[in-house]
Amino acid sequence: MWNLPSYRCLALNELNESRVNDLEKKATLLRRHVVEMVFAAGSGHPGGSLSSADIITALFFEVMDHSPQRFGSPDRDHFILSKGHAAPVYYAALAECGYFPVDELKTLRQLHSRLQGHPSRVKTPGVEMSTGSLGQGLSVANGLALAMRLQGLERRVFCLCGDGEMAEGQVWEAAMFAAHYHLDNVLCIVDRNGMQIDGRTEEVMSLEPLGEKWKAFGWHVLFMDGNDMWQVLETMGEALRHRGSPTVIVAKTVKGKGVSFMENNVGFHGKAPNREEYEQAMRELGGRA
């Protein structure tokens, strides 16, 4: 347990309607990028990318202390996308933050592209960890957090997990580790959209009571509407102020959020829209098809 600075808490406390509106517009932009990328590739994972777009936006454009110029330096916040299939929204955020050109987004999943179907730290600027095999991200986040402590670096590690991923045993081993070492510089966010590739999570492998499980493992547990930008920012601000134990935020989201025919549709977990669907999605997101 150690003294973490509140360098971003102050910014969160000073949020106003104008700033939140800007972030909501940014989240919509990321969603348009996701739809465009997956359509151009003819494959990919739109559902979980769209559900987590508000969370990713809040992290990359308001909460985390990072920049392309400082990538590789230990003196910054770190982000791990444990649910690696949501790579499209991750790439969209990285591009909008300047890690690589926005035009490169349209090369998703193409031969020789730096934007693989799942994140690759050896190919894509800004990617911390190669992910895709679910359940591994929190373990790496813990290792980073403990290393920071040993080096006296007062920084944080943010890890975004999927709810279907909670069926992986390694997640709970990592949960025990973080609680044992009081890693209060780790913030895990679970994208609780209620669906995974094979169907609804509660039918595939029941997770509830998910919050109580994390609590039993020694974590500080918070809940939020992960598609409400105000709630996302306020809950993250509360998480940043907590000391003494790791924090997990269970974020209730809508799979495919923002595109009517993708919302709560497990079929779009890993399927690209056709031309007609693409045009409708872009209209709904206020973009041009």
| Rama region for 199: left / alpha / beta (φ>0; ψ in -120 to 50; rest) | left
Give per-residue pLDDT as tens, 193-208. Answer: 999 989 999 999 999 9
Give per-residue pLDDT as tens, 89-101. Answer: 999 999 999 999 9
Helix (H) or strand (E) run with residue 141 in it: helix 137-151
CATH topology classification for 9-284: Rossmann fold (3.40.50)
**In this structure, are residues 184 and 244 in contact, taking their beta carbons and an 8 Å threshold?**
yes
Give per-residue pLDDT as tens, 134-189. Answer: 999 999 999 999 999 999 999 999 999 999 999 999 999 999 999 999 999 999 99
Q: Tell me the residue type at 164.
A: G
Tell me: pLDDT of 8 over 60: no
What residue has token string 């799942």? 118
The full set of domain ranges for the chain reads: 9-284
Give per-residue pLDDT as tens, 32-56. Answer: 999 999 999 999 999 999 999 999 9
pLDDT, averaged across the chain: 93
Residue 289: predicted pLDDT: 63
Residue 220: predicted pLDDT: 98
Confidence of residue 10 (pLDDT cuts 50, 70, 90): very low
Buried b or exposed e, range 202-214, using 16+ CB within 10 angstroms = eeeeebeebbebb
Structure tokens at 135: 């359940």
What residue has token string 């991923």? 165
